[in-house]
Structure 1
Amino acid sequence: MSTIALNPPPEIKKKPISFSNILLGAFLNLCEVSTLGQPLEVTKTTMAANREFTFMQAIKTVWSRGGVFGFYQGLIPWAWIEASTKGATLLFVSAEAEYLFKKNLGFGNFASGISGGITGGVAQAYLTMGFCTCMKTVEITRTKSAVSKSSWEIFKDIYRKEGIVGINKGVNAVAIRQMTNWGSRFGLARLVEEGIRKFTHKDENERLNGYEKILASAVGGGLSAWNQPIEVIRVEMQSKKEDPNRPKKMNVVTAFKYIYKTNGLKGLYRGVTPRIGLGIWQTVFMVGFGDMAKEFIANLTGETPTGKH
């Protein structure tokens, strides 16, 4: 009797917890936000808070608030604090979650990529991003004058009056944004990667080159802007723009109703153009340049970087 030899499925190995992954996340995000990231963030936030503005009107408004430096409002300290913590959280949690979804639930690359991104995005929002996004939006939207308080003084005033809730205003909207952001970005990037592999006849274990990785990342980042309405809602909840018609206490639902009532469906998509640019820029850094940075950090620390593809 002949026996048929069956090839066992490839073993899914757990990615080790590595200091290089934590260092990498902070490094990538600091690079991203200190280059094009913050100018795109400021422009996007200005348009979302002032929904009557065109793209060029937003650019002129930002420029009037300090020239080139106006595009870096909120960078120090809030964007740097956020960048040095959220990237580490995202890469560490998403890598671990992606492994668990593959190992325990049998998910493929696409499904585990989306699920890992969602899990990492939620962890980002509640562990690191709440007060940072709130204070960045306050800095970008508040009225400034020669006697304006510093960003730290504003932070202290909000904390003194409203406590933890005040400096984390809009955190639930941030969580929804981040889970849909990174679920889309990682999932779509993985889907495009699979398409590239089929087109170039590469197997699943063969690495993509730098150009292929960046292309997949850019497509994933750009398409993730589909959730712009939740971003506009987040900005409205955190904005310090003076508007007597705004509801005094807003949640995600009341903010949505207010924006839709005052600006219609179009208002929910204000700032989507710089958001697409920001999504591409962020994802190229976090996904596209990830492998190159992982190898560089591994050489510094002597560790094998986790999350390699």
Structure 2
Amino acid sequence: MSSGAGQAPDAELSWTSALLKFLELVKYENLAAGISGGVVSTLALHPLDLVKIRFAVSDGLQMRPKYNGVVHCVRSIWKQEGIRGLYQGVTPNIWGAGLSWGLYFFFYNAIKAYKQNGHPEQLSATQHLISAAEAGAVTLCITNPIWVTKTRLVLQYDAGIDPSKKQYRGMLHALLKIYQNEGVRGLYKGFVPGLFGTSHGALQFMAYEELKKEYSFHKNVAVDAKLNPLEYVTMAALSKVFAVTATYPYQVVRARLQDQHTQYSGVMNAIGRTWRNEGVHGFYKGVIPNVLKVTPACCITFLVYENVSQFLLSFRQC
């Protein structure tokens, strides 16, 4: 009895000690830099994100606008609704992207520093992968409701020209209405494929870290040495294309689960119906506008992040 009773306080003390150690490694500069990168890239490229989602949910069975391609889609929305139509859902996208990138970099760097345990040696590719996946899972738990509202707002077809079709007036109204009508479950639609989607960020960060490590070794400089903008952009683009190619189908499934126009009973139902009705092609709908959007978005985000974080961290060292 005495040994069992003594283990609980020891375990609690160990957990508290680990938490305090983790908090000591937290750098809020990473949060600020990540938010900056996410907001800038979202403002620049939101229309392509809107186009990607509209293609992703186009299952051929619903009364939706028909688009022949990316350019036709952009022209159609511009002609019918103007610039306002191309920026439907931009508010939750800014909140979601800003918070997601900020929290991702925040947790990722803290987890990575915790695993290094105060030593400067580099982590392995597997350790980078696991650290990024853990950071992605925590971030998704916080931000999933924002992504649901963004999807719903983006899929308000013709809301700009016919107010009667405007189901949601804005981000806060959408959050409230989804909660009232569907409860917490509604705000976390697409969460399961979103968890699978953490593999996207994990693969991207692993590739980015490994490219930086190998390139720094090739140039014979420290891994954390500042690179020029072209070098950051090149490594960010290569890592993003690699991650998108490997994981895109989860984004289609997630968008369809969050869509207010079609009901699925769950992840497997969405996968099954997509496969039966559209085949493999269905899981890659919207991939072209997605690549056109996420590659430059990633480059902008990482470029802003690297420069802002190094600028802010320079004050910590003074």
Q: 2:84 aligns with which of 56, 65, 69?
A: 69
1:141 is aligned to 155
Identify if the C-alpha distance between structure 1 residues 79 and 211 changes in structure 2 by more than 3 Å, giving closer, same or farther.
same
* 1:124 positional shift: 1.4
Q: 2:213 aligns with which of 180, 194, 210?
A: 194
Alignment of 1:1-309 (within 5 A): 16-36=25-45, 38-51=46-59, 53=67, 54-64=69-79, 66-76=81-91, 78-103=92-117, 108-128=123-143, 130-143=144-157, 144=159, 145-147=162-164, 148-149=166-167, 150-151=169-170, 152-177=172-197, 179-202=198-221, 204=223, 206-226=225-245, 227-241=247-261, 248-298=263-313, 302-304=315-317
Identify if the C-alpha distance between structure 1 residues 195 and 120 changes in structure 2 by more than 3 Å, giving closer, same or farther.
same
**1:44-91 superposed Cα distances (whole Å, 9 cap, x missing partner):** 101101156433343344335522222211112x12322342222101
Q: Distance in 2 between matches of 1:122 and 1:191?
A: 21
Q: Distance in 2 between matches of 1:131 and 1:278?
A: 22
- Structure 1: gaps spanning 5 or more residues: 1-12
2:13 is aligned to none
Identify if the C-alpha distance between structure 1 residues 256 and 175 changes in structure 2 by more than 3 Å, giving closer, same or farther.
same
Identify if the C-alpha distance between structure 1 residues 107 and 197 changes in structure 2 by more than 3 Å, giving closer, same or farther.
closer
In the superposition, the TM-score normalised over structure 2's length comes to 0.78
* 1:107 positional shift: 7.0
Q: Distance in 1 between matches of 2:217 and 2:316?
A: 32
* 3-state DSSP of counterpart to 2:154: helix
Q: Distance in 2 between matches of 1:84 and 1:190?
A: 21
CA contact (8 A) 2:264 2:270 kept: no
Identify if the C-alpha distance between structure 1 residues 189 and 65 changes in structure 2 by more than 3 Å, giving closer, same or farther.
farther
* 1:207 positional shift: 4.2
* 1:265 positional shift: 0.2
Identify if the C-alpha distance between structure 1 residues 113 and 210 changes in structure 2 by more than 3 Å, giving closer, same or farther.
farther
Q: Distance in 1 between matches of 2:228 and 2:208?
A: 14
* 1:229 positional shift: 0.5
* 1:133 positional shift: 1.0
Q: Distance in 1 between matches of 2:224 and 2:100?
A: 29
CA contact (8 A) 2:40 2:301 kept: no
Q: Distance in 2 between matches of 1:27 and 1:204?
A: 23
Q: Percent identity?
A: 16
Which range moved further: 231-240 or 143-152?
A: 143-152
* 3-state DSSP of counterpart to 1:89: helix
CA contact (8 A) 1:30 1:84 kept: yes
Query: What's the Cα RMSD here?
Result: 2.8
